[in-house]
Amino acid sequence: MTYLGWLFSSENWAGSAENPGIAQRLVEHLGYTALTLLIALVIALPLGAWIGHTGRGGLMVVGIANALRALPTLGLLVLLFLAVGLGLLGPLIALVILAVPPLLAGTYSGVANVDPSIVDAAKGMGMRGPEVLFKVELPNALPLIIGGVRSALLQVISTATIAAYVGLGGLGRFILDGLSQRDFPQMIGGSILVALLAIVADLLLGGLQRLLVSPGLQQRGAQAGPGRLRLIRGGAGTDRARAA
Amino acid sequence: MDWVFRNSGLVLELTGQHIVFSLVPVLIGLVLAVPLGWLANRTALGRSLTLNVAGFLYTLPSLALFVFLPPIIGTRILDPLNVIVALSVYVLALLVRTVADALDAVPETVVNSATAMGFRPGWRFLTVELPMAVPVILAGLRVAAVSSISLVTVGSVIGFGGLGKMFTEGFQREIPQQTISGIVLVLLLAVVVDGLLLLAGRTLTPWDRSARSRRTAGRAV
Amino acid sequence: MERLRPVRLLALLAVATLGLTACGGDPLAGGGSDSDPNVIAIGSGNFTESQLLAEVYSQALQDAGVQVEEPVAIGSREAYFPALLDGSVDLIPDYTGAVLQYLNPGAEQTRPDDVYRALQAELPPALVSGAMSQAQDKDAVVVTRATADRLRLRTIADLAPHCPDLVFGSGAEFATRPDGIPGLRETYGCVFGSTRTLDSGGVLTVAALAGDDVAAANLFTTDPALPENDFVALEDPQENFAAQNVVPVLAKRKASPAVTGVLDRISAKLTTAELLAMNAEAAGPDKPALRTVATSWLARNGLLSPAP
């Protein structure tokens, strides 16, 4: 018996009205992920930049990010289902709650860790607060911000899988439905798709990171101490928290 | 909270299961991570190989990993072993890196002095390098333990015990109190275990109360 | 760490894939490890009534001095029945028609006694069943009162012409079971416009039906949510759904007279009304632990020895 046949059947990709296929589930999964990241970015980027720029509330951000590592995703999903009922809203709130802390932490530490001499130089050149933030601090913080996005992305892809338990579509359906129908090829096929999605998304963002970050900064990152390096690579590395 | 008191028997039992299911993997992961981390620290090839595999494993979503494992390790799908092995894999993936980094950070002068004093490599590793690396490893261990405590609950989606049952049952029977109690208990357990590990670290490394421990703990964030 | 290069990644994936294809056994074949010869391991479905019945069996057996393991809620029949067959669990509360259809998808019997007799013939040699109880919990196609009034529905046959315009909600296993969506198609010619995978007669399905996310759904006749939400269970004149009497199914090697005696005494007391009452108590405002509900039912029916 081969478990992989399920993955390569065009019938399984297309599905039917009574039985949605892989293509539809994949689009759903990507949709949930994109929507969550968008909302989380809108919340976390300005807030993190402001906290990093002013230096106020930094400890709180780190504390919350740490505490959320212990928050059980499944409990959150169930609680939100009981609170707001069936539909996209509950899981979406849960996903955003999980995506915000790594984005916030990445943006905050990125902005806060910009070399003070660079900021001083910018001020010396006559830049004002917002100018310093947008032209100097944020571009310099980009490696850490993208690191945060990578963490958040993996978190969301994982958690969206579990959200099938509270009635959401997406690739998690194959894992749970396969269990109910005693269809192991379906379960393993779904699992492979989720894992592939996570890996490909992480690689793409890694590439994006190299593309967007100014070459001068990458040079500097490579020479910086291990602590800094580790934060920069937080996305793919093993320092990021796992909650799902 | 009165739901907890009315059902204290069940809650205690699930908490007990949860402690075993989440901390056994931490132990297994730690025991395996030390030799692998040592290997990663010794050779460039070992380093790139172990760390790449670790990074790859860590990217796999947990629910997917629970399902992957049975055909690979020959278990049945509902075997508790799957969740224990999966969590051990995550802990190992996380700690291998930490151990390698921690060993890297042991000052060369210390290693050289030990060698000069006649320590053989194996003995030197156990009595000098490893103890020196404890603070950093411990910071990683705290992260691993806390993640593990939270991750066990995902297993209950496919029928595994522990406090995750508070979520699946709270969901099936629409009992918000049970769900909230479950979340609070998981968080509480995480705080307690984290505190105990911190305390254990302080006791284990009496020489290390300086700024260094604070710095390394902060780094693992 | 170094970035994972695509080539290396592919190599890793290839290794993982080999691991997956190399193995031939069916990992869904069972639950935990093989059980102790003197201890009865009890399993159940992952819905309240099944878990309640497992608790009832467990406590009554313990009371009679039989060693038991704490009941495990395993999942759908597709998941727990293989666990029973391979010895991961020894005893399961089940429903006659559902087991019969699971063992023989072509089974035609629908009346309680016929189904029970046919079941005895179909059970694999390693399994036996206890006496069946009078309590029935049948699959049903359920709609809201508003839908029933608007479309003038009393039976599934009335629903059939409307099926193409409707969204149907059920657990994943209903989509593949012979008396599930395939059965509705064959027996009534009902092909739904689309389906939504929810849970097997659980909160998701109830919420979806109550919130008009689905127009019809698969629920169970003893579910307290039916009267609570004023849902209408459509009649099944063609008997697509067979009789579903509660029955214990257990491993023959564990079926000592002491064990079957206890189970038969339970079956003798269990009626549909009793089942409804237990479900209602579990769903009540206090949401007592299921083991508490089971204890009080056993005590009420004189099935527990008086406390010392």
Phi/psi region, residue A56 (left: phi>0; alpha: psi -120 to 50; beta: rest), is: beta
Helices of type H across C168-251 = 181-188, 203-210, 225-229
pLDDT at position B99 over 70 = yes
> What pLDDT, in 10s, does the model give residues B130-185?
888 988 899 899 989 999 999 999 988 877 789 999 999 899 888 899 999 999 99
Q: How far is CA A39 from CA A36, A72, A152, A212, C242, in A?
A: 5, 21, 12, 22, 49
Contact list, B9 vs chain C (CB under 8 Å):
289, 291
Identify all chain A residues contacting C176, using CB atoms and an 8 Å cutoff.
Answer: 181, 183
Select from C71, C103, C68, C33 the least CA-distant residue to C256: C68
Mean pLDDT of B107-127: 89
Write a three-state SS string for chain B: CHHHHHCHHHHHHHHHHHHHHHHHHHHHHHHHHHHHHHHHHHCHHHHHHHHHHHHHHHHCCHHHHHHHHHHHHCCCCCCHHHHHHHHHHHHHHHHHHHHHHHHHCCCHHHHHHHHHCCCCHHHHHHHHHHHHHHHHHHHHHHHHHHHHHHHHHHHHHHCCCCCHHHHHHHHHCCCHHHHHHHHHHHHHHHHHHHHHHHHHHHHHCCCCCCHHHHHHHHHCC
Q: Give yes or no: residues C40 and C59 share one domain.
A: yes
In angstroms, the CA A105 to CA A58 distance is 9
Residue B68 to residue A188, Cβ atoms within 8 A: yes
Once rounded to an integer, what is the mean pLDDT over residues A216-241? Answer: 41
What does the pLDDT average to over A154-171? 92
More confident residue, A28 or A68: A28
C121 and C17, same structural domain?
yes
Chain A residues interacting with chain C (CB cutoff of 8 angstroms): 1-4, 17-19, 81, 85-87, 166-167, 173, 176-177, 179-184, 187-188, 192, 196, 199, 203, 206, 233, 236-238
Between A97-106, A128-137, C90-99, the lowest mean confidence (pLDDT) is in: A128-137
Residue C28 shares a structural domain with residue C111 = yes
Given a cut of 80, whether residue A213 has pLDDT beyond it is no
Chain B residues within an 8 Å CB radius of C292 = 7
User: Which of the four pLDDT bands, split at 50, 70 and 90, describes residue B209?
Assistant: low
Is the pLDDT score of A229 beyond 70?
Answer: no
Q: Is residue C151 part of a domain?
A: yes
Name the least confident of B25-34, B206-215, C87-96, C259-268. Answer: B206-215
Any B CB within 8 A of C2 CB? yes
- How confident is the prediction for chain A on average, in pLDDT? 83
Residues in B touching C286 (Cβ below 8 Å): 6
Q: Do C16 and B178 touch (CB under 8 A)?
A: no
CA A187 – CA A202 distance, rounded (Å):
23
Nearest Cβ partner for C172 among A3, A17, A177: A177
- Over residues A134-156, the mean pLDDT reads 90
> Which range is least confidently modeled, B70-79, B195-204, C142-151, C168-177?
B70-79
Q: Does the pLDDT at position B74 exceed 50?
A: yes
The alpha-carbon gap from A68 to the nearest alpha carbon of chain B, in Å, equals: 9
CATH code of residue C58: 3.40.190.10
More confident residue, A151 or C262: C262
The lowest-confidence range among A39-43, A164-168, B32-36, B51-55 is B51-55
Mean pLDDT of B114-127: 88
Q: Using one digit for the tens of pLDDT, what is the confidence trace for B23-56?
A: 999 999 999 999 999 888 888 888 888 888 888 8
pLDDT of residue A241: 52
C74 CB neighbours in chain B (<8 A) are 78, 159
Q: Which of C78, C194, C211 sits opposite A17 (nearest CB)?
A: C194
**What crossing angle do the helices spanning A89-112 and A58-68 adopt, rounded to 10°?**
140
Confidence (pTM) = 0.83
Two tokens, residue B192: 């307690």
A82 contact B CB<8A: yes
ipTM: 0.84
Query: Do C179 and C263 sit in the same domain of this protein?
Result: no
Mean pLDDT check: name the lowest of A5-19, B87-101, C269-283.
Answer: A5-19
Chains touching chain C, criterion 3+ CB pairs below 8 Å: A, B
* Partner-chain residue, chosen from B67, B101, B147, that has the shortest CB–CB distance to A226: B101
Residues of C in contact with A206 (CB under 8 A): 3
Whether residue C117 sits in one domain with residue C35: yes
pLDDT in tens, C9-68: 444 444 444 444 444 445 554 444 455 667 999 999 888 999 999 999 999 999 999 999
pLDDT of residue A133: 87
Answer whether B9 sits within 8 Å of C282, measured CB to CB. no
Q: For chain B, how many structural domains are there in total?
A: 1
Average the pLDDT over C80-94 and give the result. Answer: 88
Q: Does C48 touch chain B (CB under 8 A)?
A: yes
Percentage above 90 pLDDT, chain A: 37
Answer yes or no: do C44 and C111 share one domain. Answer: yes
Q: Residues C227, C80: one domain?
A: no
Query: What is the SS3 assignment for A41?
Result: helix
Q: In chain B, what residues touch C72 (CB-CB under 8 Å)?
A: 159, 161
B220 at C interface, C-beta within 8 A? no
In tens, the pLDDT along C157-212 reads 999 999 999 999 999 989 888 889 999 999 999 999 999 999 988 899 999 999 99
Number of domains in chain A: 1
Token couple for B51: 């760390």
Q: What is the spatial distance between Cα C57 and Cα C44, in angstroms, rounded to a whole number?
A: 11
Closest partner CB to B172 (pick from C19, C30, C47)? C47
Q: A170 touching B, CB under 8 A?
A: no
Contacting partners of chain B (3+ CB pairs under 8 A):
A, C
Residue-wise burial string across A168-196, b where 16 or more C-beta atoms lie within 10 A, e elsewhere: bbbbbbbbbbbbbbbbbbbbbbbbbbbbe
C195/A17 CB distance under 8 A: yes
- The pair of three-digit structure tokens given for residue A145, joined into one six-digit string: 């911000």
pLDDT the model gives residue C66: 94
Got the DSSP string for C247-300?
EEEEEGGG--HHHHHHHHHHHHH--HHHHHHHHHHHHSTT---HHHHHHHHHHH
pLDDT of residue B54: 87
**Per the CB < 8 Å rule, is B166 touching A75?**
yes
Whether C21 sits inside 8 A of A3 (CB atoms) is: yes
Name the pLDDT band for B72 (thresholds 50, 70, 90). Answer: confident
* Alpha-carbon gap, residue B16 to A75, rounded angstroms: 18
Question: Which of C212, C233, C254 delimits the end of a domain?
Answer: C233
DSSP output for C27-95: GGG-SSSPPPTTSEEEEEESSHHHHHHHHHHHHHHHHTT--EEEEEEEESHHHHHHHHHTTS-SEEEEE
In a domain, C153, yes or no: yes
CATH number, domain with residue A93: 1.10.3720.10
Q: Distance from C114 to chain B by nearest Cα, in Å?
A: 33
d(CA A94, CA A74): 9
Residues C227 and C288 in one domain: no
Q: Determine whether the interchain pair A76/B176 forms a contact, defined as Cβ–Cβ distance below 8 Å.
A: no
Q: What is the mean pLDDT of residues A213-239?
A: 44
The domain that holds B170 is classified in CATH as: 1.10.3720.10
C165 with C293, same domain?
no
Residues of the domain holding B54: 2-218
**A residues 174-203 lying closer than 8 A (beta carbon) to B:** 175-176, 179, 184, 187-188, 190-192, 194-195, 198-199, 202
Domain span including residue A87: 23-227
Q: For residue A163, is pLDDT > 50?
A: yes
Domain that holds residue C180: 139-233
Smallest Cβ–Cβ distance between C27 and the set B52, B76, B178 belongs to: B76
Contact B51 C2 (CB under 8 A): yes
Q: Is residue A49 included in any domain, yes or no?
A: yes
Same domain, C165 and C72: no
Strand partners, C248: C93
Residue of B nearest to C200 (CA): B172
Chain A: nearest CA to C195, how far in angstroms? 5
The tens digit of pLDDT for each residue in A183-197 reads 888 988 998 999 999
Q: Which tokens go with C52?
A: 């309640």
Give the mean pLDDT of C207-235.
94
Model confidence at C136, pLDDT cuts 50, 70, 90, reads very high
CB contact under 8 A, B186 and A75: yes
Q: Note whether residue A170 is domain-resident.
A: yes
CA-angle at B44, arms to A211 and C9, nearest 5°:
50
C99 and C187 part of one domain: no
Same domain, C41 and C151: no
Residue C307 lies in a domain: no
DSSP annotation of A8: G
The pLDDT score that the predictor gives to residue A62 is 76
- Whether A8 is covered by a domain: the verdict is no
Average pLDDT over residues A90-114: 91
Q: What pLDDT score was predicted for residue A232? A: 34
Residue-wise pLDDT tens digits, C93-130: 999 999 998 999 888 888 999 999 999 999 999 999 99
Chain A residues with beta carbon closer than 8 angstroms to that of B78: none
Contacting residues for A230 by C-beta, under 8 A, at least 6 apart: A237, A239, B101, B219
Q: Which residue has the tokens 């968008």?
A: A38
Torsion sign across C-alpha atoms B168, B174, B178, B181: positive
Average of pLDDT values for A17-37? 91
Residue B205: CA count within 13 A, CB half-sphere: 23
pLDDT of the residue at C31: 42
pLDDT tens, position by position, A59-80: 888 778 777 778 999 999 999 9
Chain C touched by B77 (CB under 8 Å):
yes
Which residues, in sequence order, are CB contacts of B220 under 8 Å at separation 6+? A239, B98, B136, B139, B140, B142, B143
Distance CA B89, CA B133 (A): 22
Q: In total, how many domains does chain C have?
A: 2
